[in-house]
Chains A and B, each alone.
Chain A
Amino acid sequence: MSFLDRITEGWRKNRKPGYHENFDYHWAMTIDLDQCSGCGACVTACQAENNLPIVGEDAFVKGREVKWLRLEHYWEGEYPDVKLNVIPMMCQHCDSAPCETVCPVSATYHNQDGLNTQIYNRCIGTRSCAVYCPYEVRYFNYNDHAWDSPLDQQLNPDVSVREKGVMEKCTFCIQRIRQAKDNAKDDGRRRVRDGEVQPACVQTCPSNAMVFGDRNDPKSQVSRSLRDPRAYKVLDELNTNSSVVYLKKVEAEG
């Protein structure tokens, strides 16, 4: 077998559906829409944890805000039989991610934990990935961002600050995952315990709607939650194989 074939084979092996079971972790999240109150705590927690910029009003007008996690609002019906459906939307960490195949410089790729990751210093800012993402959860830095002193003292030293011309998006708080893995290693454990790592949004969710964990572990809370009959994926018809799974809102009769 030639050198090239070996590489191709190795690459193919890890492009087949379900390949994640070969690895230690496959991170996933469930969000129970019947428990979510749409309060926005996750949005601010994400901003605090991940050094998201304060973009200013003009950027919002141009649609250039940077929110790795946002709430989408959908009204249904007319007064008085009207409902508001709210859904937290962030990078779905698709196992068949449309954004990954399109990047000309492979700045976005799938890592062994099932995370869709973005390499900031490889990104050349073509914004193709944002065009291909059906969830519209990739955010481009149209400007360099500044924090009025001393707001910069809040910046999380574990997360890099991105500059102009770079695409960014939700990382499932990869710095926390790494920290948890390090802690596990230091403690002489082979694996991270279930619940040991929580992204900032999951950690703060006041109505406990979000669950994060390893779906390779059938006993983990997220695996249990994934087996819920209410589980569904947004825009599943696109076969993105997303790692964020929502639990349907229940419409009960009084």
Chain B
Amino acid sequence: MPNIDRRDFIKLVGAGGVGVGAGVVLRESIKHPREHLIPHVLAPEDYSSGVATWYNSVCSMCSAGCGISVRTREGRAKKIEGNPSHAVNQGRLCALGQAGLQVLYNPDRLTGPLLQSADRGADGFTQITWEDGLTRVASQLDVLRAAGRGNRIALLTRGVGGHLAELLESFAEGVGTNRLFHYDYAHPHALYAANERFFGEQQLPYYDLSNTRHLLSFGADYLAGWLSPVHHSLGFANSRHGGDNRGYFVQIEPRMSPSGAAADEWVPAKPGTEGILALGLAHHIVASGHYDGDDIDEWKGVLSAYTLEKVAEETDVSESVLQRLAESFANASPSLAIGGDGAANNSNGVDTLVAINALNYLAGNVGTAGGVVFNPNPAGATSHDHQANYRTLAQLAASARNGDIDVLILNDANPVFTMPLASEFKAALARIPFIVSLSSFIDETSALANVVLPSHTYLESWGDAFPEHGMGFSIGAVSQPVIAPLYDTKATGDIVLDLARRTGNPMPWDSLEDCIKDGWNKIYQRNASDTQTDSFESFWRALLKAGVWGEKNHRSNDSFRPNASAIANIGVDVPVFSGDAEVYPFVLQPFLSTMHDGRAANLPWMQELPDVMTSVVYGSWVEMNPKTAENLGLAEGDLVDVESTEGSVRAPILVYPAIRPDVIAMPIGQGHSNYGRYASNRGTNPLEILSPLVDESSGNLASNATRVKVVATGKHIEIVKTSGKSRDLGRDIVQTTGGSDHTAQTNSIPIMVIPT
């Protein structure tokens, strides 16, 4: 045995202890962080590891109201697809609808209520509790309501339909205000006004593209943005190759849109003269004996001024083309004329759309399959009843400036971004003492709020929708939460119900779900005999499963006749543009891009989706005719200032082969100053420099009626786009064939099932 004395022994033991200690510390430090697998002892019924669960719901990315099926795995939404049973989109979905997941999982989403502790508009938001937030808002509302000054409260929401719209309405009534506004930049105000004037009802008819053989589209970009693009795309496809005769599509617009590219013929008429062109066609149809109604003399009277010769001069479309368009439109059966977007957003927008309605009437397209089909009243509320046009919002701004508004409640509306600077909307909001926003993001408008109470996204919330453009029959769909809320947020309806309770004005529902269910119970009671279910509960379960429901209430359509005054009022004035043509030689056409009205700019998938026509990503550009660019000595990427009487924006030139030389176009959607990491400080917003010119008949902003000039800055940037060579160079990549080669295809359009 070695000779170890007591002292050495203690030293050794001590050293050993230190070594063990260091080892333990080292071992702990290099260990992976502890991960737990927590099994669901009582898993939810619809949760099964490794197996996808699908929920049917409704897309809220635009106002079309497509049905969606959301694929979830382990409690997380993974993919959005169209609901095959939904008549509007029949299983299909556009890029924007696909990108809805990035609203849900957006890294810039608000995770809980916020209070602005610095000056409004500064980045001084601090986290607060729901209790705190709701109390602050409720106390503001309560003071005004109790004093009978409820009308000093204004509600501004994005367009919502269904029972949430009714809930908001009864909330507004409860607090005693009539200032409830829905606001969507792209809402077709002019179309409603035109239909009221000509058809006598403020409702959208169903445009039956699917069965038409000949479509004349006046500016309506029906495949990309107008009303219900997915449904129109299905109709377009069916008209082209669903039957024996291939449908023929004509697009009349100064700047080629995606629908123009898909059309058989693109007619670049002068901007704002689309209505005159329509009346020219109408004149030819009546004069050449294609119309033989007993009111023909009245028609001859109002159309007498629109001879082809005169119309050709006004529209810059040759007489021979006009004649051919008129003949083929009148001879095709059924044919259909539609108008919107660029043609509607002019000083003569409503007159233009009335002229297009008249054209449909004269060609016998009203009330027929493949033409204009009237919808029955929708089974539930649509947003249109409270949609605010430019004039209404300008009045709201004026009231705010006068100090007539004390509280503004915002729900996901972003007018600061979509209203022209000339409206001074932002400055008006600064005069409102208290602003509360229910948005999920800090956009330009929410940035001005005192309190932000973030709402659920549509994938976490209850809701329902009754598509306004209809299907020729009533259709409705329920939106259900597909995943548990990711954050400390509440549904818009639940926030409103809570505020109503706190202001001593409770509504008859405990929750939004209750309200929706109650509303559907009423629909069930009305239609119980049709539903083949024995109780509301089984109807409700069937409804949630199918995600959609349709009423068997087609309207008889054949009896429409316009009244004499509607005919007598037909006529389209020469469009008015703001700005002197000598100083401002170009008409600016701002168009809806893949970012829609700017709401999709915070979605990286949409930022990285190459533009449909130009393949540009991540930026803004100015489209200019090649000849014009050559004359001005401009080339792609040259930075220019686009100046109107109201201001200027800077963007690079993109030489665009399909635009009139006297027109330039810019995409809407970029140019955010807030709205998260993907959207902010990128590109420019052409809406800023629009002049506040309004179509008097509808109060709609004439957003395509601003004249601009283009000033070179001498700077150059590279436009980021994915298409390299824009020409085929003889490689014959896209091949074409003559019209005789048409073959009828049996399409894979899923069979439409309407659960009853």
* A248/B237 contact (C-beta < 8 A), A54-B605, A73-B723, A86-B261 known: no
Q: Does chain A have a CB within 8 A of B608?
A: yes
Q: Does chain A have a CB within 8 A of B462?
A: no
Determine the residue in chain A with the shortest Cβ distance to B84.
A203
Q: Does chain A have a CB within 8 A of B29?
A: no
Asked if B741 and A248 make an inter-chain contact with CB atoms under 8 angstroms apart, the answer reads yes
Q: How many Å lie between the Cα of A148 and that of B678 in the bound state? A: 11
Contacts of A225 in B (CB 8 A): 745
Asked if A48 and B98 make an inter-chain contact with CB atoms under 8 angstroms apart, the answer reads yes
Determine the residue in chain A with the shortest Cβ distance to B682.
A57
Contacts of A221 in B (CB 8 A): 746, 748
Asked if A44 and B98 make an inter-chain contact with CB atoms under 8 angstroms apart, the answer reads yes
Which listed residue (B82, B626, B739) contacts A250, Cβ 8 A? B739
Nearest chain B CB to A143's CB is how many angstroms away?
15
* A41/B73 contact (C-beta < 8 A), A72-B723, A195-B748, A249-B737 known: no
The segment from B290-298, B354-362, B609-617, B636-644 found at the interface with A is: B609-617
* A76/B723 contact (C-beta < 8 A), A84-B613, A148-B107, A250-B741 known: no
Asked if B746 and A224 make an inter-chain contact with CB atoms under 8 angstroms apart, the answer reads yes
Query: Which among B230, B328, B743 has the highest number of chain A CB atoms within 10 Å?
Result: B743
* A206/B234 contact (C-beta < 8 A), A73-B615, A153-B76 known: yes
* A34/B240 contact (C-beta < 8 A), A40-B610, A79-B625, A207-B223 known: yes
Contacts of A79 in B (CB 8 A): 268, 625-627, 657-661
Q: How many Å lie between the Cα of A9 and that of B627 in the bound state? A: 63
Q: Does chain A have a CB within 8 A of B105?
A: yes
Contacts of B749 in A (CB 8 A): 208
Q: Does chain B have a CB within 8 A of A151?
A: yes
Which listed residue (A57, A65, A87, A230) contacts B743, Cβ 8 A? A230
Chain A residues within 8 Å of chain B by Cβ, number: 76
Asked if A38 and B258 make an inter-chain contact with CB atoms under 8 angstroms apart, the answer reads yes
Contacts of B736 in A (CB 8 A): 85, 248-251
Determine the residue in chain A with the shortest Cβ distance to B750.
A195
Q: Does chain B have a CB within 8 A of A94?
A: no
Q: How many Å lie between the Cα of A33 and that of B250 in the bound state? A: 17
Contacts of B613 in A (CB 8 A): 38, 73, 84
Nearest chain A CB to B485's CB is how many angstroms away?
13
The segment from B85-93, B179-187, B409-417, B571-579 found at the interface with A is: B85-93
Asked if B748 and A38 make an inter-chain contact with CB atoms under 8 angstroms apart, the answer reads no
Asked if B738 and A251 make an inter-chain contact with CB atoms under 8 angstroms apart, the answer reads yes
Q: How many Å lie between the Cα of A221 and that of B606 in the bound state? A: 32
Contacts of A33 in B (CB 8 A): 734-735
Q: Does chain A have a CB within 8 A of B646?
A: no
Determine the residue in chain A with the shortest Cβ distance to B615.
A73
Q: Does chain B have a CB within 8 A of A60?
A: yes
Which listed residue (B605, B723, B731) contacts A235, Cβ 8 A? B731
User: Per-residue CB proximity of B326-366 to A under 8 Å, as 1/0?
Assistant: 00100000000000000000000000000000000000000
Which listed residue (A40, A74, A80, A248) contacts B727, Cβ 8 A? A74
Q: How many Å lie between the Cα of A57 and that of B616 in the bound state? A: 11
Contacts of A7 in B (CB 8 A): none
Q: How many Å lie between the Cα of A153 and that of B738 in the bound state? A: 49
Q: How many Å lie between the Cα of A246 and that of B81 in the bound state? A: 24
Which listed residue (B241, B250, B625, B660) contacts A35, Cβ 8 A? B241
User: Per-residue CB proximity of A33-49 to B under 8 Å, as 1/0?
Assistant: 11111111101110111
* A253/B739 contact (C-beta < 8 A), A48-B98, A54-B608 known: yes
Asked if A87 and B733 make an inter-chain contact with CB atoms under 8 angstroms apart, the answer reads yes
Contacts of B80 in A (CB 8 A): 48
B711-748 contacts to A, CB under 8 A, are 718, 720-723, 726-728, 731, 733-739, 741-743, 745-748
Determine the residue in chain A with the shortest Cβ distance to B729.
A74
Asked if A37 and B98 make an inter-chain contact with CB atoms under 8 angstroms apart, the answer reads no
Q: How many Å lie between the Cα of A75 and that of B728 in the bound state? A: 7
Q: How many Å lie between the Cα of A45 and that of B82 in the bound state? A: 11
Asked if B268 and A39 make an inter-chain contact with CB atoms under 8 angstroms apart, the answer reads no
* A39/B610 contact (C-beta < 8 A), A33-B734, A151-B107, A252-B248 known: no
Q: How many Å lie between the Cα of A55 and that of B720 in the bound state? A: 13
* A74/B223 contact (C-beta < 8 A), A34-B240, A154-B102 known: no
Which listed residue (B79, B266, B660, B731) contacts A49, Cβ 8 A? B79
Determine the residue in chain A with the shortest Cβ distance to B238.
A208
Nearest chain B CB to A167's CB is how many angstroms away?
19
Q: How many Å lie between the Cα of A229 and that of B659 in the bound state? A: 34
* A85/B728 contact (C-beta < 8 A), A37-B262, A206-B89 known: yes
Q: Does chain B have a CB within 8 A of A204?
A: yes
Q: Does chain B have a CB within 8 A of A18?
A: no
User: Per-residue CB proximity of B68-110 to A under 8 Å, as 1/0?
Assistant: 0000011011111110000001011111011101101111000
Which listed residue (A74, A203, A228, A254) contacts B265, Cβ 8 A? A254
Q: How many Å lie between the Cα of A13 and that of B727 in the bound state? A: 42
* A235/B733 contact (C-beta < 8 A), A37-B259, A60-B618, A230-B743 known: yes
* A35/B236 contact (C-beta < 8 A), A149-B107, A157-B78 known: yes
B224-242 contacts to A, CB under 8 A, are 224, 229-230, 233-234, 236-238, 240-241
Asked if B241 and A39 make an inter-chain contact with CB atoms under 8 angstroms apart, the answer reads no
* A156/B625 contact (C-beta < 8 A), A44-B99, A72-B733, A151-B106 known: no
Determine the residue in chain B with the shortest Cβ distance to A222.
B748
Q: How many Å lie between the Cα of A249 and that of B742 in the bound state? A: 10
* A57/B223 contact (C-beta < 8 A), A39-B95, A85-B734 known: no
Determine the residue in chain A with the shortest Cβ distance to B222.
A37
Asked if A57 and B486 make an inter-chain contact with CB atoms under 8 angstroms apart, the answer reads no
B38-83 contacts to A, CB under 8 A, are 73-74, 76-82
Closest 10 CB pairs of A and B: A252-B739, A206-B233, A85-B734, A44-B95, A148-B107, A84-B261, A207-B233, A207-B237, A248-B737, A44-B98
26 A-B residue pairings within 8 Å (CB atoms): A37-B261, A40-B610, A41-B97, A43-B609, A48-B605, A65-B608, A67-B722, A79-B625, A79-B659, A80-B266, A83-B261, A83-B266, A84-B613, A148-B107, A151-B604, A153-B76, A154-B101, A207-B237, A209-B237, A221-B748, A228-B745, A230-B737, A250-B240, A250-B738, A254-B264, A254-B324
Apart from A35-B241, A45-B95: 19 A-B pairs, beta carbons within 8 A: A32-B241, A33-B735, A39-B233, A41-B94, A45-B98, A67-B722, A73-B723, A79-B268, A79-B660, A82-B256, A151-B102, A154-B78, A206-B233, A207-B234, A207-B237, A208-B747, A249-B735, A250-B739, A254-B250
